[in-house]
Chain A
Amino acid sequence: MNDKEKAEQAPVSAEAAPVKKKKTQSPGVLALQKVVNDVYQAARDAKKEGKLVGWSSSKFPCEIAETFDLNVVYPENQAAGIAAHHDDTRLCTIAENEGYDADICSYARINLAYAMGNETTNEGRRMPMPDFVLCCNNICNCMTKWYENIARIHNIPLIMVDIPYSNYPEVDDDFVAYVRGQFDIAIKQLEELTGKKFDEEKFKRVCGYANRTANAWLKVCDYLQYKPSPMSGFDLFNHMADVVTARGKKETAEAFELLASELEENLKTGKSTLPFPEQHRIMMEGIPPWPHLRELFKPLKEHGLNVTAVVYAPAFAFRFNDVEGMARSYAVAPNSVCLEKGVDWRSQLCKDNKVDGALVHYNRACKAWSGYMPEMQRRWQNELGIPVVGYDGDQADSRNFNAAQYETRVQALVEAMEEADRKKESGK
């Protein structure tokens, strides 16, 4: 049986997910969870009805697919969900047995194993097999080959937009023109695939929702600037799923607006979603190791650390009103901007969100991000003068993380922050 035949037979048997005790969630959080679950459910329903389903990279403009009424799901989000559900090692190993090297991004390995017809135990994140793929490599270059492989496995169209790394802090007009030209071609390809004309008016409406989502999302992120914060910054990692999978939907904008109003209320009443008193505020750099969220959170809770800065989160707020603006906006992503801009983003975020220290994830999955991080870290650490600790891990391969090493680093970071506080208090 070839890969495509195997893939078409999916889902195969998979272990039932362990039953977990659920904590009470606010209406805003429940609305956000529903939005993401609906994206996956809509794709499964569409497949059953014989409609087209696409797989998309996280920073391919979802506004385009939304305008065409296409059902699209997101392998990066799925891989994060699979990893958080502890089904990562099994799928990574399957991909490795098929010849994909263990050094390749763990999201890619998980998704390629899935694309070859291996079902996940995370029932909520099951995706139908794709009829087309949408790839934009602004977030990483591994994406290009990853999506080429999916397209080959399923013999389906690959709609590719290349957004290279930018060596300059500002995006110039030539750069935008290069991206814009590719968006125009992508739209034509989707017109041919769907047999529909691109509806400019609908696109504007979708952009309106995406802008509302972006504004509400940034408002939510900005609540972390308050000291103490009315929210746990760790929440942002959960809410990321909505900005990744459903930026252009009205329901997403409304859910984030509801969440923002809840946080505003928390601020007035002195409540917080942080389940412990905030003693220190830190930046958490990089995608977290999803399979180890519990281990990751444990020492943060023990030492009263609130993650009040996550550079990855606000980077998903795109705001524009036309295709030209879309090209300019999507040209700027965490891994496509130059070192200087990356340093500025982090320094400013740490200042605005009043952090006392930082935890940097040296993420084996992401060579692009972790490769330039030591120099980037050196620069923003010098600027901010705060203690910073790095730890090793992997966003979606549980084999590359050691909880004991992580705990020691967090404890030492806390001790260094406490020492800095003592000095500040004594006026030294």
Chain B
Amino acid sequence: MNTLYTMGIDIGSTASKCVILKDGKEIVSKSLVSVGAGTSGPSRAIAEVLENGGLKREDMAFVLATGYGRNSLEIADKQMSELSCHAHGAHFLFPNVHTVIDIGGQDAKVLHVGDDGNLVNFVMNDKCAAGTGRFLDVMARVLEVDVGDLAGLGAKSQVQVEISSTCTVFAESEVISQLAKGTDRCDIIDGIHRSVAGRVGGLARRVGVQPDVVMTGGVARNCGVLHALEKELNTEIQTSPLAQYNGALGAALFAFEKCR
């Protein structure tokens, strides 16, 4: 039987991610460009993933696009919602998954996944940025730290500080007033992580939390948020170094199913 290569591309609001799968089983190449829909990100991510794998577009049996910018990608054979793709991707990485918490650049979603990795039900955040990656970006800017350093700094917290989860603007002004009071930056960051966890925890309870619980999306790299969510939901949450590629991985899996 000939080898089947399929490509999944997840064009998010803040990043473009690509995954190439061999026979629906093995990840042979992946790429990530930190700009998303409406930018050069998608084409750069595609060029990179092909180059990394030593492959050409013609080698791809099927290309499936997902994410916010999915409908603008001309080379895609099909588009699917990122919700189904995240469910599928998480099931590939964690076969016993039943709940996926995905926090991306501008949305947060909680998925109920069936035994076979298909989407059963889901909830998403409303238009508010609280509880999303953008919320963390805004707070990192106010605190003058890199967003990638938030987890490490938050882990050093000694005193519990409460930050509102109602609104990004309210929370930003709370952070500024805490800084003005001389509150330790690490304590504020820990409060920010719990704020995100509180917001997303509310979403998760609406759809129902069933083990195994897996966290995906860019924010999954922040173990401060992940641990805060574990406390909030009183459950163990797993993640993977591939968390940010999860949507693209799911898309590549669906692509394989489409051409099988």
Q: Which residues of A contact B (CB under 8 A)?
A: 362, 374, 378, 387-390, 392, 400, 402, 404-405, 407-409, 411-412, 415-416, 419-420, 423
Find B68's partner among A389, A404, A412, A416 (CB 8 Å cutoff). A404
Once the chains bind, are A412 and B206 in contact (CB under 8 Å)? no
Contact residues in A for B122 (Cβ distance below 8 Å): 389, 412, 416
Once the chains bind, are A419 and B114 in contact (CB under 8 Å)? yes
Find A419's partner among B107, B119, B124 (CB 8 Å cutoff). B119
Contact residues in A for B60 (Cβ distance below 8 Å): none
* Alpha-carbon separation in the docked complex, A412 to B109 (Å): 12
Once the chains bind, are A387 and B80 in contact (CB under 8 Å)? no
* Alpha-carbon separation in the docked complex, A404 to B118 (Å): 23
Once the chains bind, are B124 and A409 in contact (CB under 8 Å)? yes
Contact residues in B for A362 (Cβ distance below 8 Å): 126
Find B84's partner among A378, A392, A415, A423 (CB 8 Å cutoff). A415
The 5 sampled A-B contact pairs (Cβ below 8 Å) are A378-B206, A405-B124, A412-B122, A416-B122, A419-B119
Once the chains bind, are B126 and A416 in contact (CB under 8 Å)? no
* Alpha-carbon separation in the docked complex, A407 to B124 (Å): 13
Q: Which residues of B contact A (CB under 8 A)?
A: 68, 71, 79-84, 107, 114, 118-124, 126-127, 206
Once the chains bind, are B127 and A402 in contact (CB under 8 Å)? yes
* Alpha-carbon separation in the docked complex, A3 to B139 (Å): 45
* Alpha-carbon separation in the docked complex, A392 to B107 (Å): 13
* Alpha-carbon separation in the docked complex, A400 to B128 (Å): 11
Known: A400-B127, A405-B107, A416-B119. 14 other contacts (CB 8 A): A388-B121, A390-B123, A390-B124, A404-B68, A405-B124, A405-B127, A408-B81, A408-B83, A412-B83, A415-B80, A415-B83, A416-B84, A419-B114, A419-B118
Once the chains bind, are A392 and B81 in contact (CB under 8 Å)? no
* Alpha-carbon separation in the docked complex, A423 to B115 (Å): 11
Contact residues in A for B68 (Cβ distance below 8 Å): 404, 408
Closest Cβ–Cβ distance, residue B93 to chain A (whole Å) = 20
Summarize A's interface: helix, strand, loop or mixed: helix
Once the chains bind, are B127 and A415 in contact (CB under 8 Å)? no
Contact residues in A for B71 (Cβ distance below 8 Å): 407
Given A402-B127, A405-B127, also A416-B82 (CB < 8 A): no
Contact residues in A for B84 (Cβ distance below 8 Å): 412, 415-416
Q: Which residue in chain B gives the minimum CB-CB distance to A416?
A: B119
Give the 10 A-B residue pairs with the shortest CB-CB distance, closest first: A412-B83, A412-B81, A411-B81, A415-B84, A419-B118, A392-B126, A416-B119, A392-B127, A387-B121, A408-B81
Once the chains bind, are A416 and B80 in contact (CB under 8 Å)? no
Once the chains bind, are B119 and A411 in contact (CB under 8 Å)? no
Closest Cβ–Cβ distance, residue A201 to chain B (whole Å) = 53
Given A362-B126, A405-B127, also A415-B121 (CB < 8 A): no
Once the chains bind, are A419 and B120 in contact (CB under 8 Å)? yes
Once the chains bind, are B119 and A415 in contact (CB under 8 Å)? yes
Closest Cβ–Cβ distance, residue B28 to chain A (whole Å) = 26
Closest Cβ–Cβ distance, residue B141 to chain A (whole Å) = 24
Contact residues in A for B127 (Cβ distance below 8 Å): 392, 400, 402, 405
Contact residues in B for A387 (Cβ distance below 8 Å): 120-121
Contact residues in B for A388 (Cβ distance below 8 Å): 121
* Alpha-carbon separation in the docked complex, A362 to B206 (Å): 15
* Alpha-carbon separation in the docked complex, A416 to B122 (Å): 9
Contact residues in B for A400 (Cβ distance below 8 Å): 127
* Alpha-carbon separation in the docked complex, A404 to B206 (Å): 23
Closest Cβ–Cβ distance, residue B108 to chain A (whole Å) = 12
Once the chains bind, are B123 and A412 in contact (CB under 8 Å)? no
Q: Which residue in chain A gives the minimum CB-CB distance to B128?
A: A392
Once the chains bind, are A416 and B124 in contact (CB under 8 Å)? no
Q: Which residue in chain A gives the minimum CB-CB distance to B121?
A: A387
Contact residues in A for B126 (Cβ distance below 8 Å): 362, 392
Find A416's partner among B79, B107, B121, B206 (CB 8 Å cutoff). B121
Contact residues in A for B121 (Cβ distance below 8 Å): 387-388, 416
Q: Which residue in chain A gives the minimum CB-CB distance to B119?
A: A416
Contact residues in B for A416 (Cβ distance below 8 Å): 84, 119-122
Find B81's partner among A374, A390, A415, A423 (CB 8 Å cutoff). A415
Q: Which of B68, B71, B121 has the most CB of A within 10 A?
A: B121
* Alpha-carbon separation in the docked complex, A404 to B127 (Å): 11
Q: Which residue in chain A gives the minimum CB-CB distance to B107?
A: A405
